[in-house]
Structure 1
Amino acid sequence: MNLGILGSTTLAYTLGSKYIATGIEVSIGVRNGFEPKDIRWKILNMLSDKVFTYENTIAQSEVILICCENENLKLVCEALKNADLTDKILIDCTNSSFNKVFKCNTTYIQECIGNKTIYKAFNNLGLDYPKSDPLGLIKETYYCGESNVVKFRVKKLIEVVGFKAVDAGDLESAYLLEAFYHLRKEIAINKRDQTDYHFKLISV
């Protein structure tokens, strides 16, 4: 299986490294003109078989994780819209900007690419992960989308890199998953102690 990750974020690099460690073929798509500043990205960028454009990564990947910054989401959507997405699995790992009212990135992406099937996962980690979890305490992520054999594959993709996969239902739950992320960020802001906060699911 070939897995593509779109974005030059810390999350993109971290998930890419985790999947590479499992033996999965990974390529990372970055915007034109991308200049790596972090030493890890500089090393990765020197490998001819790892870093490509958005378009090349989409073309050669069976599974595509969208992990880009919001300012580059439009470019990513344009690349996806112009690509043949037949038999490709799309997973949105981003969160919209929050200004008291927010739109859901997953819905935006789906509308841009012609309402093709898409799943949501990993967004609770945030694009700065693992900086948001320096002690490595986050052991679960939530995912949603149409219930079928593809969703089962999404679950397995989450589990293969060490996370517990929590099914949050159909794609309509993407709004809830993004709200979940924004809530924890608001708690961190109001605590004013430079600490990140996360939620853990428990059963009672």
Structure 2
Amino acid sequence: MIGYVRGTVSHLAVDHCFIDVQGIGYRVFIAQSTRQKITIAAVVSLFTYMYVREDALMLYGFYTQDEYDLFLQLTSISGIGPKVAMGILSAIDPQQFRIAISQKNIGILTKLPGVGKKTAERVILELKDKIGLITEDDLNGDHISGISVSTGDVIEEALQALLALGYNQNEIMPVLKKIEKNGHSVEELLKLALREFVGGNR
């Protein structure tokens, strides 16, 4: 198994990048949390997991050990494959996810892409003893209310479109949460979001 790759980012897409390692380009699938931390032409090291199927070999990359460890925990659960796990990592910070688990917060978990109520209950059951120690400091402040979670297909499509325009998720999600009730289509949300970003009329 390939434990990590270190090389130059030659291409960067919504859900994957190419890492040039001495002239060999590795396609590495990444979550938005990793995408936000890398740029084209930068030299990066990503922890990797190789997913083997009958018809494909797929390499998943993670900027931090924390993300990698959570990915392994998620994919150990029946019904959660790499695609769903990466969607979860794209929507929530690993520590915020662990706090939601410790508090058995079904409401937060069911907002994550690919996670219904039964899956959320199974995640809590299987991970509650594996998430490590949650301290009082972790539980104080704005940890849970600040979770970035995509709540629907329209929001997700608007998010992906804005990411493609060069904005990052940390600045996109507060704007989408603010305007989501005012727009019912991707086009409407994009127009409203862009007005927010450029400081135009609301």
- TM value normalised by structure 1: 0.33
Which structure's residues are more often helix, by fraction?
2
Name which structure has the greater RCO, CA cutoff 8 Å, separation 6+: 1
Please tell me whether Structure 1 or Structure 2 has the larger radius of gyration of its CA atoms.
2
- TM value normalised by structure 2: 0.33
